[in-house]
Amino acid sequence: MNQIDLKNRRILVTGGAGYIGSHVVKALGEAGAEILVYDNLSTGNASAVLSGRLVVGDLADTVLMKKTVESFRPEAVIHFAASIEVGESVSRPLKYYRNNTVNALNLLEVLRACRVDQMIFSSTAAVYGEPELIPVAEQTPLDPINPYGASKMMTERLLADLSAADPDFRYVALRYFNVAGADPQSRIGQDYKNPTHLITRALKTALGVFPQLGIFGRDYPTPDGTCIRDYIHVDDLATAHLVALKHLMDGGDSDIFNCGYGHGASVAEVVEVARTVTGVDFKIVDEPRRDGDPPELVARCQRLRTELGWQPEHDDLAYIVKTAWDWELELQKRQESAG
């Protein structure tokens, strides 16, 4: 059991009203932290902030951001705020470099001016591109194949260079693999206008939101021909942020960790679990391969366990899908009652 005491520790969370950010805010609140969320609500929801206080603001607004940091005086920052859709990043690259790299630079300049010296950075396995060796270790060369991954890689470089120049500044970058699931009590979960994640789209297809679910390629060099991904429950990922934060607060060095379970499930396997959990034999259609989809993407993630003491509690695909399904049903109820 991961028991982390952050009582009265002041933590600023950028993007804390979003899917992953809100689950980390929930975990911080349960650990006793004092939390301030800074979010422009472009994709997040104020109702998802279960703990702390929300300031509605953009990272491009450096005046408001500096005023917020000076007033709150955080000991550390967890930085989520970013644009995350791979396909959109290809068609709108400038948006991604502005939101993910330039705004990270804005944040770092404010933190430097206010002498905030600890950051947890929300990074991604997209920095690896299409790695040749599976599972993917942290020392794998970075070779992103889209602007989303490249913009996150550039922010990692900003952090590394700043830490090298100023030893007082320390950070942990967490490279997420495929995040899924929801709060077991269905208070929060994934709530995007245009969901692209496989599990969410499968469940919305079961609900009738989408008429069918596309499977992009069945001719990959995998056991069933469909892509394999490493799915991690969002609550286990939230715990990874807390153990990384504790690492920094205990004086630990800057570092980078993969976040996954170290094994994968294929698209076809996810579809079957979704059908079993929902009880709906929803329609699937075969689509051509998408550019940039590696056959398999699985994390080598032992370091997070051995060096930070992270202990995942929800390494079960059926549990992941069930919590996501319960959230979808709750979300549907909320939408029906609202209108």
35, containing H or E segment: strand 34-39
- What is the spatial distance between Cα 101 and Cα 123, in angstroms, rounded to a whole number? 12
CA distances (Å), origin 227, targets 103, 198, 222, 264:
33, 11, 7, 9
Q: Which residue has the tokens 């969002």?
A: 234
d(C-alpha 199, C-alpha 149), whole Å: 21
171 classed as catalytic: no
Q: Report, in angstroms and rounded to the nearest whole number, the Rg of the chain calculated over CA atoms.
A: 19
Catalytic-labelled residue, pool 96, 97, 128, 148: 148
Angle at 23 between CA 331 and CA 183, to 5 degrees: 45
Burial of 139 (0-12, 13-18, 19+ CB in 10 A): exposed
Q: Which residues are catalytic?
A: 148
